[in-house]
Chains A and B, each alone.
Chain A
Amino acid sequence: MTITVLKPGLQTTIQAGPRVGWRHYGVPAGGAADMLSLALANRLVGNPWNAPALEATLLGPTLRFDKAVAFAVTGAIAGVSLNGDDVPLHETIFAKAKDELAVSATEIGARSYIAIDGGIAADDVLGSTSTYLAAGFGGLQGRALEEGDLLITNPADCPLLRTPDEFRVPMSSSWAVRACPSFETSQLRSGDELFEKNWTIGRRADRIGIQLEGATLEIASDGRMPSAAVFPGTVQCPEVGTPYVLSVDAGTVGGYPRVAQVARADRHLLGQLRPGDRIRFLRREAAGAIDELRAKLDYWQPWLEDIGNII
């Protein structure tokens, strides 16, 4: 069956799991910027956690189904309607042929995930169907959805589910994420400032990187750092002193000091940061961060059995 894109939204792409094992060729992980919300959406329609779904950014799409199909929307707080009537987030919704689904602008959080029973047909490139916009591959021809696009799905039938309250990722405009000091944190003249300030998310907050505003850090760097590996969650600080956080589509090596690393447990939250949000980095040492990761995995296990692969 097909889904017609009536309005594409601001930037809606097909996203699935990450690309793993290609970073030494310069291929970033990509995939859903908020992988946990993707997995939650797929769970509600009986898909594998990493089935291709839609990731909408700030303003969602309007879609029309040509046949009956189940879908679910998770992630940011946004209005979801079917033929103009509100339907809830975090619940399996059964649409009929010709029904129109609209996802509004997000109110809190940045990204909505729309999973369709059976997933969405997409280009598999290097082990993932996720769209990598910068290089133009994966997903639907490597690009964001456009008006008139047709998406193909093969529904399988699924029961009605609701995400239990305790497994809904809390959305906020004021975030606290755990982070470890990183390989060049010692180059900061006031090493604690990064962890003590309340930062504001700048205008640039996309799948590549998230700008932090609110202070200028002093860094002892002459701009000649030999390029070194960076990852999603790496906080870099160039000589001008305004740090930014790399997200899922960022390049794989960089020449700016790595001053913090968002802990694996909280990396999925990067996908929900939007311009104007506030953020604090909670300082963790490596061992503590890993203990907390395992506690988080244990917590989610009852609802998402693959949680160890998801976050």
Chain B
Amino acid sequence: MRIRCVDDLLSVAADGPADAQAIAAQLLDTGEWLEVVPGIDSVVVLFDAALLDAGVAQETLRAQLENGVVPLPESGDIVRIPVVYGGEFGPDLDELCRKLNLSQDDFVAMHTGCDYVVDMVGFTPGFAFVGGLDERLRVPRRKDPRQHVAAGSIAIADGRTGMYAVASPGGWNLVGHTPFALFDSKAEEPFPIRAGTRIRYYAVSADELDA
């Protein structure tokens, strides 16, 4: 196991996103770290250097992982997420469909036609990187990122669907908007979507948003 130390940070290598999420979950469970942050192929923990020496922190981390990492259980329930596609709710859908040579109905059928799994949550609060996008919908990020993307935006880029839980700048292609609360600061679980969550999208009309 390769652990590297930089000031009050320790980084441990992972074999891809699922392994990183599993390592992070195992480390979070110990409650011994100030922060545990999974990346795509690594996990970084922040330790309290006022109390812990780097060497002790490193050995503690090693001990917590040396008996192996339990893969995250596949989450059983599918979270169904309503999406209003296109128009003002998905301002990039029109152009995207032209580029991909699809009708908007084709796009919606493809995007709602399969199950997805959340690979990672983060960057901004609750932003979900959702894997499993139909390969025919693979497009790069926009060359000119937007300064403001609204909370609830559903977007695609680089073979994934992204869900904006809070407003932020963003470079993904906006295809729709969901009324589903991706962040509720007052809820017991403020972020209902987590790594490993299975997701299915379904189309709703703009009228249904207020209903």
Contacts and interface: CB of A to CB of B under 8 A. Distances in A.
A126 B190 contact: yes
B7 A290 contact: yes
A229 B38 contact: yes
Interface residues of A, number: 41
A132 B194 CA distance: 21
Interface of A: 20-27, 125-126, 132, 134-137, 180-183, 226-229, 231, 233, 251-253, 258, 261, 263-264, 284, 286-287, 289-290, 293-294, 297, 308
Nearest to A125: B185
Interface of B: 4-9, 11, 24, 28, 34-44, 46, 48-51, 53-55, 120-127, 165-169, 185, 190-191, 194
Contacts of A181: 6
A243 to B, nearest CB: 16
B142 to A, nearest CB: 16
Given A26-B126, A231-B46, A293-B49, A183 B4 contact: yes
Contact of A231 (B5, B9, B125, B190): B9
B167 A253 contact: no
A264 B7 contact: yes
Contacts of A284: 7
B123 A264 contact: no
A251 B123 contact: yes
A290 B185 contact: no
B191 A261 contact: no
B42 A228 contact: yes
Given A20-B34, A227-B40, A261 B7 contact: yes
Given A24-B121, A180-B6, A253-B122, A134 B44 contact: no
B39 A226 contact: yes
Given A26-B165, A135-B168, 7 more contacts: A126-B190, A134-B124, A134-B167, A134-B168, A134-B169, A135-B167, A228-B41
Given A135-B167, A264-B49, A297-B50, A289 B7 contact: yes
Contacts of A264: 7-8, 49
7 contacts: A134-B168, A180-B6, A181-B6, A226-B40, A228-B44, A229-B44, A252-B37
Contacts of A289: 7, 49
A230 to B, nearest CB: 8
A263 B42 contact: no
A310 B168 CA distance: 28
A27 B167 CA distance: 13
A225 to B, nearest CB: 9
Contacts of A229: 9, 11, 37-39, 42-44
A226 B41 CA distance: 7
Q: Which of B50, B55, B120 has the most CB of A within 10 A?
A: B50
B125 A26 contact: yes
Nearest to B127: A26
Contacts of A27: 125
B39 A228 contact: yes
Contacts of A261: 6-7, 9
Nearest to A262: B7
Contacts of A294: 49-50
B184 to A, nearest CB: 11
A137 B166 contact: yes
B167 to A, nearest CB: 6
A25 B126 contact: yes
B122 A25 contact: yes
Given A135-B166, A136-B167, A231-B9, A24 B40 contact: no
Please give me the 7 A-B residue pairs with the lowest Cβ-Cβ distance, nearest first.
A226-B40, A228-B39, A229-B37, A229-B44, A135-B166, A26-B122, A308-B50
Given A24-B36, A26-B123, A263-B7, A290 B41 contact: no
Contacts of B53: 287, 290
Nearest to B194: A25
B24 A24 contact: yes
Nearest to B128: A26
Contacts of A26: 121-127, 165
Q: Pick the most buried of B37, B51, B120, B168: most chain A CB atoms within 10 A of its CB.
A: B37
A25 B5 contact: no
A261 B49 CA distance: 14
A308 B48 CA distance: 9
